[in-house]
């Protein structure tokens, strides 16, 4: 009997082993570097050591931007951009609420898709990371000296800001196209007359001066869906390329009706010429209503300005400003190689990649090699602009980045793989499977003139069994590949926040040295700042009570306050007096219908508390600041509405 | 002898002494520089940060305005430079010797004064301090290192201190080699 059991169990184990080999197991293990140790070593950053690269990965429907170390895959920070974040009081404190203002009012969420690092002379310069909000069309600036969102601009005449915020070579502009054509200007018309009546606007946003982000001009385009974009570099500097789909202009069952044309278009926009037309006064001032929100790092306060007009250029009035280049099958990614010579279109329903040549495009324009027009915009002949096709052997190409050594790497969603191919010969030289269904990919600096071609991050859309299960919803999985050799090698899986759509990366040397450690208290120009404990005070202005509070290890000043009454609006204006790195303090108040405040050294933040009952209510520091953090607390006494309790405050009395 | 003058005056441009506090959560340490006329740190906020740490053990705030030495040391050092100038001009061996004796006495007095300050800061603690360890005092070493709770305190001369030593080495050499220079 014992013997029999043994035989049976061996058979079961063997069967299990065979199944594993036949199924996912074999596929899963195949591409990892031979020997687990070498893969582990390649991604290992020892305790106390620093990662070589920063990775900026969008949060998609989290509305935020995550910052990772590459190659370790360690999460450093989540920067709230379009979504409120109670952890950091973003969108909760009085200072940052205006950041989320739009023409539709305060919006606490958006769908953040594409981080884009600023560039100088076509190289990543580490100053800012831009990102788009797709739902209520917006673009944002994140200042990489403080890793906070400092500017958000709403985009009028847009129905979904997807092809954004890709930069030009010197961050002259970041661009924004609309993914959903809409009536421009908006009006009440039947949906089924969309074709010909809906339009798409391409916006060029001035972005090189913080605080002055503004739409330089919009180009009013046919009502296609503008999907992604990239600007030229080097010889092609001055042009921006947008992919389009739904050139069918279908208005319903788009998954079928938008996939009928054999070829859609890459819109090539000569923005230098657009600037010239703008200067000549060819633009029309179109009434609009859109918000510009700017967070001032000296006052620590964001303000909203509503803008009422936008300059719009019509291609019909501006010959030579826009051309269409045919590209098969609803292209998604549009990527320009580091030399600026090649424009790679990823027809997301096709097997092949389409590579157009910038030189041939210029020659075709000069030779007027047109194949008709679309709404008056000339269509260049496919063969006249095409440099080559990459016969990938895969299906569903989405996005291409470059390593600076003449190689390109394209993600394939449907065949779930990264394909490496050579520029100019167009031959496929390597391929590696992804787990599962990769969307975009990222090589640090991989869309600039100077990629750091060492690592590639794949952003997968499907996770399934890659991690321990956490119920129906799973984290999205990123995968890191070593691309320094001939063959791509999978070296790490790491989980990400939200749904990453796109990523950017940069060597630590262009970002880390600029990172601020504190805000200087002496430079704090917040109107309610309190720079010394002796100035800490409480003032009453009718029903408004303003507390000018300070915090320093390990106490608040004042820590006890009396004379607050039911029905008051109590403003806590709290200044962190610390001037040492990594010494934030937090503040929370029992019953306050808002988040905590988390205040950096030298910063002032404000929340409002409206006490509803009499009593004595505690507040405390929420950030473990010191050995006496637990003692960092205080009380507010709340008296009845008509009470004669005098305003009083103190510390250590 | 003339070399002693710029080296002495270097004390106006470089700190005399430095005290570094080392602890795991302060990578690189926190360094306070003592000059003849001011107290600085490795960042402009070092003194504030040291004072915040010190308040837990009830140490007095280090406030440069309340340290009179920082007012008269510059005068003393300036005076010394004048004496050295006189020495260069009159070139008398006995004067060199006199300066040497004077500097030696000054150094001893200075170190003693420094010790008194350290003793005062280390011993005269606020009775209501949050952290009180019976028998524990927090006097940093005069020179060398010593563990003070979680901090290793290291007290050493700084650049200015070394340059001043060099000044006196040259002064001493001038005295020793005086007969040689006269032979020429």
A497-537 pLDDT, tens digit per residue, is: 999 999 999 999 999 999 999 999 999 999 999 999 999 99
* Nearest-by-CA chain A residue for B51: A553
Q: Is B49 on the interface with A (CB under 8 A)?
A: yes
A579 CA: distance to closest CA in chain B (Å): 6
Whether the Cβ atoms of residue A355 and residue A343 lie closer than 8 Å to each other: yes
Mean of per-residue pLDDT scores for chain A: 94
Over residues B155-184, the mean pLDDT reads 87
Place of tokens 């607390």: A633
From A518, A631, A633, A651, select the one nearest A576 (Cα to Cα): A518
Q: How far apart are CA B82 and CA A536, in angstroms?
A: 50
Nearest to A579 among B45, B56, B131 (CB): B45
Q: How far apart are CA A569 and CA A542, in angstroms?
A: 9
* Nearest-by-CA chain A residue for B45: A579
A45 is written with which tokens? 């950053």
Q: Across the interface, do A628 and B48 touch by the CB < 8 Å criterion?
A: no
Q: How far apart are CA A404 and CA B142, in angstroms?
A: 58
Q: Is B51 on the interface with A (CB under 8 A)?
A: no
Q: How far apart are CA A534 and CA A541, in angstroms?
A: 21
Q: Across the interface, do A553 and B48 touch by the CB < 8 Å criterion?
A: no
Chain B environment of A551 (Cβ under 8 Å): none
User: Beta-carbon neighbour count of residue A22 at 10 Å?
Assistant: 10
CATH number, domain containing residue A555: 2.60.40.420
The H or E element that residue A384 is part of is helix A382-385
- Chosen from A49, A520, A580 to mutate, greatest number of chain B CBs within 10 A: A580
Q: Is B56 on the interface with A (CB under 8 A)?
A: yes
- Domain range enclosing A75: 56-514
- Predicted confidence at residue A30, as pLDDT, reads 45
- For A18-66, what is each residue's pLDDT tens digit? 444 433 334 444 444 555 568 888 999 999 999 999 999 999 999 999 9
Terminal-to-terminal C-alpha distance of chain A: 84
A540 DSSP β-pair partners: A545
* Nearest-by-CA chain A residue for B25: A582
Going across the sheet that includes A75-80, the strands are A75-80, A64-70, A53-58, A503-507
- For A331-375, what is each residue's pLDDT tens digit? 999 999 999 999 999 999 999 999 999 999 999 999 999 999 999
Q: Across the interface, do B130 and A627 touch by the CB < 8 Å criterion?
A: yes
- Predicted confidence at residue A156, as pLDDT, reads 97
- Cis, bond preceding A185 (omega within 30 deg of 0): yes
Please indicate, yes or no, whether residues A530 and A468 belong to a single structural domain of this protein: no
User: Beta-carbon neighbour count of residue A261 at 10 Å?
Assistant: 15
Q: Across the interface, do A628 and B45 touch by the CB < 8 Å criterion?
A: no
Q: Which positions ≥6 away from B6 have C-beta within 8 Å? A: none
- Predicted confidence at residue B28, as pLDDT, reads 87
- Chosen from B47, B52, B129, B133 to mutate, greatest number of chain A CBs within 10 A: B52
The H or E element that residue B166 is part of is helix B159-176
Q: Which of A479, A514, A549 is the last residue of a domain?
A: A514
Please indicate, yes or no, whether residues A542 and A444 belong to a single structural domain of this protein: no
CATH number, domain containing residue A478: 2.130.10.10
Q: How far apart are CA A202 and CA A156, in angstroms?
A: 10
Q: For chain B, what is the total number of helices (H) and then of strands (E)?
A: 6, 5
- Positions of E strands within A437-584: 438-442, 455-460, 476-482, 489-496, 503-507, 537-541, 544-552, 555-557, 560-565, 569-576
Please indicate, yes or no, whether residues A499 and A534 belong to a single structural domain of this protein: no
Domain boundaries along the sequence of chain B:
4-183
- Positions of E strands within A271-406: 284-296, 301-313, 322-328, 331-336, 342-347, 352-357, 370-374, 377-380, 386-391, 397-402
- Predicted confidence at residue B171, as pLDDT, reads 87
Q: Across the interface, do A628 and B52 touch by the CB < 8 Å criterion?
A: no
Compute φ and ψ for A225, nearest 5 degrees.
-100, 120
Please check whether residue A559 lies inside any domain of the structure.
yes
Mean of per-residue pLDDT scores for chain B: 92
User: Beta-carbon neighbour count of residue A599 at 10 Å?
Assistant: 26
- For A54-104, what is each residue's pLDDT tens digit? 999 999 999 999 999 999 999 999 999 999 999 999 999 999 999 999 999
Please indicate, yes or no, whether residues A83 and A198 belong to a single structural domain of this protein: yes
Please indicate, yes or no, whether residues A494 and A610 belong to a single structural domain of this protein: no
Q: Is B75 on the interface with A (CB under 8 A)?
A: no
Number of domains observed in the structure of chain A: 2
Q: Across the interface, do B45 and A627 touch by the CB < 8 Å criterion?
A: no
- Beta pairing class for A544-552 and A569-576: parallel
* Nearest-by-CA chain A residue for B24: A48
Please check whether residue A365 lies inside any domain of the structure.
yes
A121 is written with which tokens? 């002379």
Q: Which of A514, A547, A572 is the last residue of a domain?
A: A514
Please indicate, yes or no, whether residues A507 and A533 belong to a single structural domain of this protein: no
- Predicted confidence at residue B34, as pLDDT, reads 95
Please check whether residue A64 lies inside any domain of the structure.
yes
- Predicted confidence at residue A508, as pLDDT, reads 98
Q: Is B176 on the interface with A (CB under 8 A)?
A: no
From A274, A287, A141, A107, select the one nearest A209 (Cα to Cα): A141
From A482, A509, A498, A508, select the one nearest A55 (Cα to Cα): A508
- Predicted confidence at residue A35, as pLDDT, reads 55
Please indicate, yes or no, whether residues A548 and A496 belong to a single structural domain of this protein: no
Chain B environment of A626 (Cβ under 8 Å): 56
Please indicate, yes or no, whether residues A450 and A541 belong to a single structural domain of this protein: no
Q: Is B105 on the interface with A (CB under 8 A)?
A: no
- Predicted confidence at residue A24, as pLDDT, reads 39
Q: Across the interface, do A627 and B49 touch by the CB < 8 Å criterion?
A: no
Please indicate, yes or no, whether residues A273 and A402 belong to a single structural domain of this protein: yes
Q: Could you tell me which residues of chain A have a Cβ less than 8 Å from any Cβ in chain B? A: 518, 552-553, 578-580, 626-628, 631
Q: Is residue A374 exposed (0-12), middle (13-18) or buried (19+ Cβ within 10 Å)?
A: middle
Q: Across the interface, do B56 and A578 touch by the CB < 8 Å criterion?
A: no
B43 CA: distance to closest CA in chain A (Å): 9
Please check whether residue A5 lies inside any domain of the structure.
no
- Residue ranges for chain A with pLDDT beneath 70: 1-37
Nearest to A579 among B48, B56, B130 (CB): B48
- Predicted confidence at residue A12, as pLDDT, reads 44
Q: Which of A487, A514, A541 is the last residue of a domain?
A: A514
A554 CA: distance to closest CA in chain B (Å): 9
Q: Across the interface, do A579 and B131 touch by the CB < 8 Å criterion?
A: no
Please indicate, yes or no, whether residues A499 and A411 belong to a single structural domain of this protein: yes
Chain B environment of A627 (Cβ under 8 Å): 56, 130-131
Nearest to A628 among B45, B48, B130 (CB): B130
**SS3 letters across A129-176:** EEEEECCCCEEEEEECCCCEEEEEEECCCCCCEEECCCECCCCCEEEE
Question: Which value does ipTM take for this structure?
Answer: 0.88
From A54, A32, A48, select the one nearest A479 (Cα to Cα): A32
Please indicate, yes or no, whether residues A179 and A93 belong to a single structural domain of this protein: yes
- Predicted confidence at residue A544, as pLDDT, reads 98
Please indicate, yes or no, whether residues A84 and A207 belong to a single structural domain of this protein: yes
């Amino acid at each position: 009997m014992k013997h029999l059991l043994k035989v049976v169990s061996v058979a079961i184990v063997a069967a299990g082993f065979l199944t594993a080999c036949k199924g996912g197991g074999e596929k899963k293990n195949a591409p990892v570097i031979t020997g687990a140790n070498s893969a582990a070593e390649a991604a290992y950053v020892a305790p106390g050591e620093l990662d070589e690269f920063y990775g900026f990965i969008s949060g998609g429907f989290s509305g935020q931007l995550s910052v990772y170390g590459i190659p370790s895959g360690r999460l450093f920070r989540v920067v709230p951009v379009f979504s409120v974040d109670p952890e950091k009081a973003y969108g909760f404190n009085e200072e940052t609420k205006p950041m989320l203002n739009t023409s539709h009012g305060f919006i606490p969420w958006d769908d953040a898709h594409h981080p884009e690092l600023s560039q100088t002379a076509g190289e990543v310069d580490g100053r800012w990371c831009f990102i788009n909000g797709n739902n209520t069309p917006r673009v944002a600036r994140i200042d990489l000296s403080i890793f906070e969102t400092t500017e958000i601009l709403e985009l009028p005449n847009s129905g979904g800001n997807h092809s954004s915020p890709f930069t030009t070579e010197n961050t002259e502009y970041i661009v924004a196209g609309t993914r959903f054509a809409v009536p421009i200007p908006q009006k009440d018309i039947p949906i089924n007359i969309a074709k010909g009546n809906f339009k798409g606007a391409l916006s060029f946003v001035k972005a090189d001066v913080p605080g002055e982000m503004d739409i330089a001009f919009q180009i009013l385009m046919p009502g296609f869906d503008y999907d992604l974009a990239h600007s030229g570099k080097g010889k092609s500097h001055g042009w921006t390329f947008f992919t389009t789909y739904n050139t069918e202009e279908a208005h319903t069952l788009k998954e079928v009706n938008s996939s009928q044309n054999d070829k859609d278009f890459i819109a090539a926009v000569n923005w230098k010429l657009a600037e010239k037309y703008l200067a000549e006064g060819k633009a029309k001032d179109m009434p609009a209503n859109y918000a510009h929100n700017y967070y001032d790092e000296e006052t620590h306060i964001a303000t909203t300005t509503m803008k009422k007009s936008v300059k719009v250029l019509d291609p019909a009035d501006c010959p030579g400003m826009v051309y269409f280049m045919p590209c098969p099958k609803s292209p998604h990614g549009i990527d320009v190689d580091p030399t600026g010579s090649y424009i790679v279109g990823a027809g997301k329903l096709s097997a092949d990649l389409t590579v157009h040549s910038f030189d041939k495009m210029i020659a075709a324009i000069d030779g007027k090699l047109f194949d008709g027009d679309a709404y008056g915009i000339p269509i260049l002949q496919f063969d006249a602009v095409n440099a080559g096709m990459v016969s990938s052997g895969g299906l569903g190409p989405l996005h291409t980045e470059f390593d600076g050594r003449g190689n390109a790497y394209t993600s394939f969603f449907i065949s779930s793989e990264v394909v490496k191919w050579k520029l100019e010969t167009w031959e496929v030289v390597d391929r590696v499977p992804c787990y599962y269904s990769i969307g975009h990919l990222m090589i640090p600096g991989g869309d600039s003139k100077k990629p750091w071609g060492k690592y590639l991050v794949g952003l997968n859309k499907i996770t399934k069994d890659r991690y321990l299960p956490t119920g129906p919803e799973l984290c999205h999985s990123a995968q890191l590949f070593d691309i320094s050799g001939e063959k791509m090698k999978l070296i790490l899986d790491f989980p990400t926040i939200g749904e990453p759509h796109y990523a950017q990366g940069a060597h630590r040397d262009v970002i880390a040295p600029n990172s601020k450690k504190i805000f200087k208290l002496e430079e704090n120009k917040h109107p309610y700042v309190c720079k010394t404990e002796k100035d800490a005070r409480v003032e009453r202005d009718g029903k408004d009570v303003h507390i000018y509070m300070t915090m320093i290890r390990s106490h608040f000043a004042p820590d006890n306050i009396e004379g607050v009454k039911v029905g008051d609006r109590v403003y806590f204006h709290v200044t962190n007096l610390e001037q040492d790195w990594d010494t934030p303090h937090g503040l929370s108040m029992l019953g306050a219908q808002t988040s905590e405040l988390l205040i950096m050294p030298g910063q002032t933040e404000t929340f409002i508390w409206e006490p509803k009952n009499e009593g004595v209510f505690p507040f405390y520091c929420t950030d473990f600041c010191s050995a006496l953090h637990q003692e960092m607390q205080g009380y507010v006494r709340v008296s009845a509405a008509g009470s004669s309790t005098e305003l009083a405050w103190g510390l250590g009395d | 002898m003339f070399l002693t003058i710029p080296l002495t005056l270097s004390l106006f441009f470089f700190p005399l002494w430095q005290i570094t506090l080392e602890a795991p959560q302060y990578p690189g340490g926190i360094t306070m520089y003592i000059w003849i006329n001011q107290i600085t740190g490795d960042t402009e906020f070092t003194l504030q940060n040291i004072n915040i740490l010190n308040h837990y053990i009830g140490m007095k705030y280090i406030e440069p305005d309340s340290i009179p030495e920082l007012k008269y040391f510059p005068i003393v050092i300036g005076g010394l430079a004048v004496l050295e100038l006189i020495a260069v001009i009159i070139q008398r061996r006995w004067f060199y010797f006199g300066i040497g004796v004077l500097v030696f006495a000054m150094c001893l007095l200075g170190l003693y004064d420094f010790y008194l300050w350290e003793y005062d800061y280390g011993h005269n603690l606020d009775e209501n301090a949050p952290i009180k360890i019976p028998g524990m005092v927090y006097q940093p070493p005069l020179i060398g290192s010593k563990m003070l709770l979680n901090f290793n305190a290291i007290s050493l001369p700084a650049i200015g201190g070394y340059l001043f030593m060099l000044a006196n080495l040259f002064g001493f050499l001038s005295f020793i080699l005086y007969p040689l220079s006269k032979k020429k």
